Structure formats: C-alpha cells, structure tokens
Amino acid sequence: MQYISTRDSSLRYSAAQAIVQGLSRDGGLFLPESIPALTTQDLQDLVGMTYQQRAVKVMKAYLDEFTEVELAEYAAKAYAVPGKFNDAAVTPIHSTHHKTHFLELWHGPTCAFKDMALQMLPYLLTASLRKTGEEKTACILVATSGDTGKAALEGFRDVDGTRIMVFYPKDGVSEIQQLQMVTQEGKNVDVCAVVGNFDDAQTGVKTIFSDEALRAELASRGYFLSSANSINWGRVLPQIVYYVATYAELVKRGDIQMGDKINFCVPTGNFGNILAGYYAKRMGVPIDKLLCASNANNVLTDFIRTGIYDRNRPFHNTLSPSMDILISSNLERLLYLLSGSDAEVRGYMEQLNKTGRYEVSKDMLEKIQDNFLCGFCDDERTTNAIGKVFSHGKYLMDTHTAVAYTVMMDHRAATGDATPTVVVSTASPFKFCDSVLTALGVTDQRTGVEILDQLAEVSGKAAPAPLAGLKGKARRFDQVVEKQQMTDVVREALV
C-alpha cells in the first residue's frame, strides 16, 4: 500500500517512508491511498483475540512492508502487561449502564490515551529507519497541549537513532502534566515552554518542518526532522486499533451482538483520535455516529454544524486543556477522504493560512454530517458532570472525559437516540486533580504532588503509580521562549 499527501496525491511513498518523514514536504499530511476492509468474519475472528493480537491484525492491513512477526513483537513490547500497562485488557471498558460504556485509554505509562500510539510509534519509526536505509539521527519535534508531550518523551526515551524535543504552551497545561514533562529522564530528550497557546506551538513546529534552509543545515550535522504529533500517520494507525478492538470486546462481553451499531463520543482537539474512529468505520466496523465533543474552544462544533471552519475567535484556557486547540490539523485528512481532491484540500488550507477560515462545499458538509455529530461543554457543565457521575456510581472521570459524557447526554436528550455509546475516556482523573477535587466539592486543596494523595483520599481511588512516582523527582527543564524563537532552540540544541 502506498501513501499520498493530502495536498499532492501524485506523490507516492511507502509506509516506512511516510512514518520516517512525518509531514509531507508540501505541508500536507500522509494517508493511505486506500482503506482496507474488515469483513464480518474478520470482526468475528477478532472477538477471540487479545488486544496485542488485534493490534497486529489491524496494523498489518496498512503496513505491507512489515511482517506479522515484526508487528507481533512490537505489540508485545508496546502493550506489555505488566511493564507498560497496568490492566490485562490494556484498554478496559467500564460500563455504568447497559448502553453507556467508558473506554479507558489511560492505563499506560503516562496515564493518557496518547500512550496507545506513542508506545508503538518508536518501534514503527526505528524499523522504518532500517527499512529506508536512513542513517541520520531522527530529531522528533512535538507540540503538545499536555498529554502528547509526556507520552512521546517516555516512548522515545533513550531510543537509539532518535532525539526528541517537546514544546508546550506556558501556563496552558495542568501542573501534573507540566511536572511529568519537566522531570523527564533520558539522554536524548529536551523540553521547552512556549509563550502562547498550543496553536502557537503547533504552528511553530510546522514552520520548522517547512524551513528548507534549516533542514539542509541539520542534514549536514547528521539530523533529519520527524514528528510524533498526530500529523504522523504512525500516530493515527495505532489509534484505529482500539476502535476496532472495542467493538470486538463488546461483542465478546455480550453487550452487543455482531452487526449491532454503536456510537463513539470522543473529546476532540486536534481531530486525530476521532479521525481514527472514522477510519475504523470506513474499514467496516458497525459504527453509526461519531460524536465530536468540544469544550469552549468549539471551532469543530461550529464547523460540523455549518461547514465553516473559522479559527478567528477568542482562545479559552479551560479545565480540559488538552482540547484547547483552534487549529485541528487532522481535519485535513478527513477533507481529503471525503473529497478525494488534493486541489480542493489545498485550496481550503490556503484559505485557512491567509484568512483563518474556509467554507466547504454543500456536498462535503452533507458527507460530514452523515458521519459526525457534535456538541460542546463549558467548564461549569464539565465540573457538574464529574460530581454527578461520581455521586451516582462512584465512577471518577477526568475533565476531558466529562466533556464527552456531557455531549453524549445532550445528544440523547435531544434525539432520544438509544444506540449503545462508548465514551472515549482519554486521561486519568489524577492528571487534573485540582479540577476534579473542585468538582467533588473540595476547595481547600493541597499543592504540588501532594494533591495526588488528597484526591486518592477523597475518591477512594488509588493514584496511578506513574503519577505517584513524580514525588521527589528533580526538574530538568525550565527553558521558556517566545514562539518566534522555536527555530533557534532547535538549531542550538542540535550542535
């Protein structure tokens, strides 16, 4: 299977080349030229498999040049229990009702859903380096709104042939998220705060990728640039797995019958997570609707409702910071999937770059609305949802999961839709202790990592070991720069 650019479909790359390069040189995103199909028998076969085996089955369909033996080795290591994940199911499903299920994607080493892809990506990338004969060191640039940074740092820590640099928005992540990054261990890691928001950091990384002079300079020093953000197909692919696996698991548990339709409600910022769900649907998983849940930065809600993408709006720092995004990069892949036209996508992206907005065609909007529903939730309702769900059934949600839960409940109230729905739970509540404690009625809160113990005492839940392990760890990274200085940071670090 070949991979093409969303902005120039005449370009053809192998999977290994696309994963190594990360972002197409024309600024577009790589995606497979076709979507493999899963038959009903394929889905039935998945029911009896482990998560690791399901990962091999799904990823092999997209990775012609990787053998099943290779992928099985990577899956065994990436999703090792114990060692990497603390639950035998890897992605356990918690049901609060026979038609309401929480897919917990935060049982990995950094307690966020990004582990599902970023524990696999280092294996895919290093194998791709071998397959393409690349001898230079991969400098992996990451912009993070909170969770990707730590997951990428942990995934690539001391991986041979790589160097990783993470940029996060100063004052735009939770205290625990920041502590996870600035205390990161490893010889090949760098972390830097950027004055501004996530979009500033993400735009800065994209600018670095498109700087031909910098790329030539780094090549002369033995480096090339790659990405661990969801602009890299190697990030999106492992996420498709858990949508497919969840359907198989619900059948295995008897919650649904093979062929029954289900919905997924996904807290959404950069659109990579929910895009993976769309790929699963296109592969043949019986998914009815994908509910795109936004916080107060509801650019995606407006887009799905109107077909107008407009980032020219106030940016809000919310209780769900990993969704504080106004430029949803992976939406570009969806636009190509629905239009099949690189020229059309290129036109939209040029408009976005010049004016901060674009409007899709009527036909495109109809296709989007056939597959996606949307809604948003402000901080007050996020807080209320956490408190209400915990008081009713002692189930503890983080702020991002609470956004998705609220949007799902809004949809049910408005439509009467009784389709079984999976709420994609993207982070441990202990990553956002202050917000969760507030939702539980606790106003006198401890500071630093001591707040982890406080939430444990109040909720009766144990803090995950990776977060509890932050106690006593030394801060290693305190650099703060303006967004215009990001290129200089990369240049100076790679000497």
Burial of 222 (0-12, 13-18, 19+ CB in 10 A): exposed
Catalytic annotation present for 206: no
Which residues, 6+ apart, have CB-to-CB distance to 484 below 8 Å?
Answer: none
Given a contact cutoff of 8 angstroms between Cβ atoms, the answer to whether 19 and 223 are in contact is no
- Active-site choice (57, 114, 150, 483): 114
Nearest to 143 by CA among 22, 16, 28, 242: 22
Distance CA 394, CA 449 (A): 23
Given a contact cutoff of 8 angstroms between Cβ atoms, the answer to whether 71 and 63 are in contact is yes
Torsions phi, psi of 166, nearest 5? -115, 130
Distance CA 277, CA 290 (A): 7
Distance CA 230, CA 156 (A): 15
Which residues, 6+ apart, have CB-to-CB distance to 464 below 8 Å?
Answer: 86, 106, 107, 111, 428, 430
Torsions phi, psi of 224, nearest 5? -135, 155
Residue type at 428 in one-letter notation: S
445-484 as b/e, with b when 16 or more CB fall inside 10 Å?
ebeebebbebbeebbebebbebbeeeeeeeeebeeebebe
Distance CA 176, CA 112 (A): 12
Residues classed as catalytic = 114
